[in-house]
Structure 1
């Protein structure tokens, strides 16, 4: 009985060495990853860059912009649980992704299933041969003068009747140094109104001057 017990202890001791080595290696890896580096977000096993995202969740756009500014070729790579994400602001990379090498970057089944209820199987949610067919059909429609005139008219109307009056209202009611208008919110509304009018034939009027403004205090 004693020999069996001692044998079990010896086996547990042997098994604990790999576990101990793994723990030590993980700690060393964490220490290395925590070095000050503003070109890439810190990435850890299993959780990836989750901690960096949580730390900067209140300023996500600003944080990603800072990373892109300092990164080589204005491109960063980070990991989320089960997903590797690449963000780029390099004009050459963007041209390759959207034009010269577009066929090499399909949306994939995950995004097609995720967006199926919203986009169905139309041009924005297809790949390969179905995408080519729909693009060929859509290209004739987008080349017509009537659509071009409609887009110009919609954008001009949105600028004249909503964007400029909204900016004038903000400039007239704002106290210098007290408030600053959130231009990101304004341009999001501007883009949403135009897209809905051109793509769906409806006007959500999200940039209407009667709507409350989003402001940032103490900037």
Structure 2
């Protein structure tokens, strides 16, 4: 058992090191989140080619083409989301929604519950980047009026979008996992359900226990 644990830890080391590089680089000020994405891509390519060796050099052109196609799709979504956000701002729709919510007497607890429901539904068929660009301008002013910390709201949104990636029926990571493992989509969903329940329980904790989201920023003096 101990030998298996050590073997698994050794194989997982290079993958886990990616988290250290990204978070360490961002919080140390070594690079920005955008630059962190580039560093992560280069590091992941190096590990895949020369450490795990699950990708060959001759596969690189195909991987780059697929990455380009995915990037084009995402940029198209982001462009339309930004256009939608511009229309929202021009027509002052977020301000009108904020006024409506405040007049309705919605409490912070009720608002966060509404945020979770909307994001879970949207996350099951939309890209996280599009969700942020479309819904963040609507939720943010309401949260400020209700006295909800913006970092707390941001963490709640991120957790919701992560759940959306594994949420049936069209969570993006379900299709990725199905393709990698060779399992059918139905088998993948059944295997993911226990972990999805854990994520939903964690979402409840993050939503209604702000200390979980704010402890690190407060400790770092960022809030």
With normalisation by structure 1, the TM-score equals 0.30
More strand, by proportion: 1
Bigger Rg, which one = 1
**Greater relative CO (CA pairs within 8 A, separation 6+):** 2
With normalisation by structure 2, the TM-score equals 0.29
